[in-house]
Each structure stands twice: as C-alpha cells, then as structure tokens.
C-alpha cells in the first residue's frame, strides 16, 4: 500500500531534550516536506527536500533540522525543543515536487513540549 | 506566508444539504488544490484545478476558479455525515522556493448533522 508513515504518532517531552520524528514513504517520491499545524494558523511548511541531499527552508524553519540521506526517509530533528514547538506535525511527499502534483500526507505526529 | 484564506471558518449544515466553501489567494497561481482533513489526521487530496480551468467536477465535488478575483469555491452536493471534516485550499505560487511547495489556507471546518 502506498503510504507515508511517521513515528512516533504521539510524543511528550521536556524542554531541551533532543528528539527526532521519522518520516518514510514507499512511493519512490523525490519531493518530501514537513509541515506544522497550529490552531488558527493552518499548515505551515518547515523544511522541504527536492531529492537526496537536497533540502531547503520553508516558512518556519527556526528550531528544526532535517536530513535526506535516503530517498524514502526525511527525519525532522528538534535539537533543543521548546514549548512553542508544541504542535501537530505532518510529513508529505510528492513525485517530483512539480506544479500540480498531489501531495501525500502522513498521519501526523502530535508533539507536546513541557 | 499565508496565501489561501478559506471562508467561512466554520460551517454547519444538515445531511442532504449542499456545502459551499470559498478560498481567496493573493498572488498568481499555476493551480489550486483542495484537501480534506478528518480531525487530527493527515490531509487527503480531493481535487486540483489548473489556472486555465474555470470549473471541475469529481463525484459530489464541484470546484470553480476565478483567477480575475483570485478566488475558488468548493461545493459538496448532497452532503453526508461522513463529509464532516476540515477543508483546505492550497496553492503553489512560485515565490523563490520549490515549485512544488504548497501554501495552505487556514481551513473551513464543516460539520454535517445527520
């Protein structure tokens, strides 16, 4: 089944404790992206990747890192989480990241930073 | 950078009625997509309309696009309780980033009562 998976689905952590949210897709997509969703703000892009070893900042990259060592995986790293990073996070992928392509979303990771 | 703005923010209707949601955007676009999100879950692509199209249908969905007014509407006919979800429009305006980047509105929360 074609899908985007994220782990963990739920995470409670404390300020400053490094964490990684994994994202994996099995559709051989070149383009992958991370969004955060907050009430009243909608979805905002954090980082995206056009292909292996090619990543770039989205609208709200501060406090986040990403890497793209393999085509299927695009982990999101919070080196020193803060309470303002409490949010619902989504990973998404599309074939080549071209105009008009459908993006496929993961199920989301709900993060609470205390 | 917020591009799409949905209207209304929330909509409550009875089963069988039609639901209309609107989206306005700010800059020129190549295409506009509508996504659906069940509570706390990932987004699912519904329909895409290109900038040279004015109307598109998919099952009970009808999307219109007016590029002169920079607006789009999503009509769900004969709504069902299972249509209860949040609906987002997303555009892919080129702003110096990846051409695959989607910019989402804040969404319309639709509630269909049985």
Chain B nearest-CA distance from A15, in A, is: 24
Which residues from B are below 8 Å from A101, CB to CB? Answer: 100
B71-95 per-position pLDDT tens digit: 999 999 999 999 999 999 998 755 5
Best probe of the B interface among A7, A32, A37, by most B CBs < 10 A, is: A37
Task: Show me where the domains of chain B are located.
Answer: 5-113
SS (H, E, C) chain A: CCCEEEECCEEEECCCCCEEEEEEECCCCCEEEEEEEECCCEEEEEEEEEECCEEEECCCCCCCEECCCCCCECCEEECCCCHHHCEEEEEEEECCCCCCCCCEECCCEEEEEC
Quote the mean pLDDT of chain B.
Answer: 89
pLDDT, tens digit (0-9, with 9 covering 90-100), for A34-84? 999 998 888 999 999 999 999 999 889 999 999 999 999 999 999 999 999
Q: CB distance A31–B97 less than 8 Å?
A: no
Residue with token string 């996504």: B35
Q: So what CATH class is B5-113?
A: mainly beta
Chain A residues within 8 angstroms (CB to CB) of chain B: 4, 31, 33, 35, 40-45, 48, 50, 56, 58-59, 88, 90, 92, 94, 96-108, 110
């Amino acid at each position: 089944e074609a899908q985007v998976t994220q782990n963990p689905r739920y995470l409670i952590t404390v300020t400053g404790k490094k964490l990684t949210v994994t994202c994996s897709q099995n559709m051989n997509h070149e383009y992958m992206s991370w969004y955060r969703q907050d009430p009243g703000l909608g979805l905002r892009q954090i980082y995206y990747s056009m292909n292996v070893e090619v990543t770039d900042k989205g609208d709200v990259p501060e406090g986040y890192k990403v890497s793209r060592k393999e085509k299927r995986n695009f982990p999101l790293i919070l080196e020193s989480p803060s309470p303002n990073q409490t949010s619902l996070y989504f990973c998404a992928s599309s074939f080549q990241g071209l105009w008009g392509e459908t993006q496929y979303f993961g199920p989301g990771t709900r993060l609470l930073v205390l | 950078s917020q591009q799409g703005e949905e209207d209304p923010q929330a909509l409550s209707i009875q089963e069988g009625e039609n639901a209309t949601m609107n989206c306005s955007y700010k800059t020129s676009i190549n295409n506009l997509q509508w996504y659906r999100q069940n509570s706390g879950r990932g987004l699912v692509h519904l329909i895409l309309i290109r900038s040279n199209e004015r109307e598109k249908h998919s099952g009970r969905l009808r999307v219109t696009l007016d590029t002169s007014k920079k607006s789009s509407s999503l009509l769900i006919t004969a709504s069902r309780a299972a249509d209860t979800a949040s609906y987002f429009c997303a555009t892919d305006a080129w702003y110096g980033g990846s051409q695959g980047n989607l910019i989402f509105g804040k969404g319309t929360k639709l509630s269909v009562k049985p």
